[in-house]
Amino acid sequence: MMGNLADSMEYYLKKLLALSASGFLEIKRKELAGKFNCVPSQVNYVMATRFTLDKGYLVESRRGGKGYLRIRKVNTDGWELPGGILEELQQGLANNGKAVGIIERLREGKYISVRESRLMEAALQCISGLKNEQLKDDLRVLLMRRMIEALFY
C-alpha cells in the first residue's frame, strides 16, 4: 500500500495520534525503528519531513534514560501558522504594530515563550528609532524573518 518506509511510518503515527485521548503521542525512537525494521535516524527523518510546525505538528523530545519523542498536533484555529506568518512578512510590515501583533500571536499560540516574546519585542524596539524610514522598514521585516527562522527552521 505505502510505497516507502517514511510514508507508512507517517501514516502509522498519525493514526495513533488520532486515536490518542491525551492529544499527544509519546514514542521511543528505538522501539519505533524496531517496529519498522529500520535505523533509528529514520524516525528523525520522518519527524523532520512529516511532523513539522508548518504542517501543524510539534515534536518534543528527551534523551537519556526513559527518553521519548512526543508528537502533538498544535491547535491552529483562527490564526496563522508560522508559514502563514512568513507570507505576511513577505508582503512587508507597514509598521511596528503589525510586527508586535505577530509576536503576540506566536506567544498566545505557545510557539514562543514569554521570554522569547520579550526578546523579540526588544529587538524590534531598537530599530524603531531610526531616521531613515526605508531602512527602518527593511530592517523590521528582516529582523522578524530571521528571528522566526531562528526559532522554527
Partner DNA sequence: AACTATTTGACCATCTTTGACCTTTATTAT
Partner DNA sequence: ATAATAAAGGTCAAAGATGGTCAAATAGTT
Binding residues for DNA (CB under 7 A) = 3-7, 27-31, 38-45, 47, 49, 61-69
Instruction: Give the chain's end-to-end CA distance (angstroms, integer).
Output: 32
Binding-site member from 73, 116, 136, 137 for a copy of itself (CB under 8 A): 116
Q: Which does 69 bind (CB under 5 to 8 A by kind): a copy of itself, DNA, none?
A: DNA
Residue that is written with C-alpha cell 516507502 in the block: 4
Measured CA to CA in angstroms, residue 119 lies from 29, 114, 144 at distances of 33, 9, 12
Q: Does 122 bind a copy of itself (CB under 8 A)?
A: yes
Here's the x/- map for a copy of itself, 39-68, by CB under 8 A: it reads as -------------------------xxx-x
Question: d(Cα 68, Cα 61) in Å, to the nearest integer?
Answer: 5
Q: How many CA atoms lie within 13 A of 68 on its CB side?
A: 9
Q: Which of 14-22, 47-55, 75-83, 112-120 is the region at the interface with a copy of itself (rule: CB under 8 A)?
A: 112-120
